[in-house]
Amino acid sequence: MQGNFQVRTDLALETRESFAKDHVEIRGVRIEEAADEEHELYTTTVVIETENGARAMGKPVGNYITLEAPNLSSENEEEQRRVSEMLAGYVRKLLGERDAVLVVGLGNREVTPDALGPQVVNQLQITRHMVREYGKSYSGKMNRIVSAVVPGVMAQTGMETLEMVRGIVRETKPEAVIAIDALAARSTRRLNRTIQITDTGINPGSGVGNHREGIREDLLGIPVIAIGVPTVVDAATIVNDAMEQVAEAREYQQSLRERIAMQLSTMFVTPKDIDETIRRVSFTLAEALNIAFSDAPISDIK
CA–CA distance, 81 with 109 (Å, rounded to integer) = 25
Least Cβ distance, residue 163 to a second copy (angstroms): 5
- Tell me, by CB under 8 A, how many residues bind a second copy: 61
Q: Which position among 88, 116, 197, 235 is part of the footprint of a second copy (CB under 8 A)?
A: 235
- Asked if 262 is part of the footprint of a second copy (rule: CB under 8 A), the reply reads no
- Asked if 275 is part of the footprint of a second copy (rule: CB under 8 A), the reply reads yes
- Asked if 126 is part of the footprint of a second copy (rule: CB under 8 A), the reply reads yes
What radius of gyration do the chain's Cα atoms show?
A: 19
Which is nearer to a second copy, 2 or 50 (by Cβ)?
2
Q: How many Cα atoms are found within 13 Å in the side-chain-facing hemisphere of 34?
A: 11
Least Cβ distance, residue 150 to a second copy (angstroms): 7
- Asked if 226 is part of the footprint of a second copy (rule: CB under 8 A), the reply reads no
Q: Which position among 54, 61, 154, 219 is part of the footprint of a second copy (CB under 8 A)?
A: 154
Restricting to residues 100-119, name those near a second copy by CB under 8 A. 110-112
- Asked if 1 is part of the footprint of a second copy (rule: CB under 8 A), the reply reads no
Least Cβ distance, residue 241 to a second copy (angstroms): 8
Q: Which position among 274, 280, 283, 301 is part of the footprint of a second copy (CB under 8 A)?
A: 274
Helix (H, G, I), strand (E, B) or coil at 101: strand
Element (H, E) at 197: strand 194-198
Which is nearer to a second copy, 22 or 171 (by Cβ)?
171
- Asked if 146 is part of the footprint of a second copy (rule: CB under 8 A), the reply reads yes
CA–CA distance, 295 with 252 (Å, rounded to integer) = 59
- Asked if 90 is part of the footprint of a second copy (rule: CB under 8 A), the reply reads no
Label residue 85 left, alpha or beta by phi (over 0 means left) and psi (-120 to 50 means alpha).
alpha
Restricting to residues 66-85, name those near a second copy by CB under 8 A. none
Helix (H, G, I), strand (E, B) or coil at 170: helix
- Asked if 167 is part of the footprint of a second copy (rule: CB under 8 A), the reply reads yes
- Asked if 194 is part of the footprint of a second copy (rule: CB under 8 A), the reply reads no
- Asked if 45 is part of the footprint of a second copy (rule: CB under 8 A), the reply reads no
Burial code (b: 16+ CB inside 10 Å, e: under 16) for 242-251 equals eeeeeeeeee
Q: What are phi and psi of 181, to 5 degrees?
A: -150, 150
CA–CA distance, 275 with 277 (Å, rounded to integer) = 6
Pairing mode of beta strands 176-185, 194-198: unpaired
For residue 180, how many other CB atoms are within 10 A of its CB?
28
- Asked if 242 is part of the footprint of a second copy (rule: CB under 8 A), the reply reads yes
* C-alpha to C-alpha distances, 1 to 57, 211, 279, nearest whole angstrom: 13, 24, 34
Q: Taking a C-beta distance cutoff of 8 angstroms, is the pair 193, 187 a contact?
A: no
- Asked if 54 is part of the footprint of a second copy (rule: CB under 8 A), the reply reads no
Which is nearer to a second copy, 50 or 156 (by Cβ)?
156
Q: What are the residues binding a second copy (CB under 8 A)?
A: 110-112, 121-122, 126-130, 145-152, 154-160, 163-164, 166-172, 188-189, 233, 235, 238-239, 242-243, 245-246, 248, 253, 256, 260, 263-264, 266-276
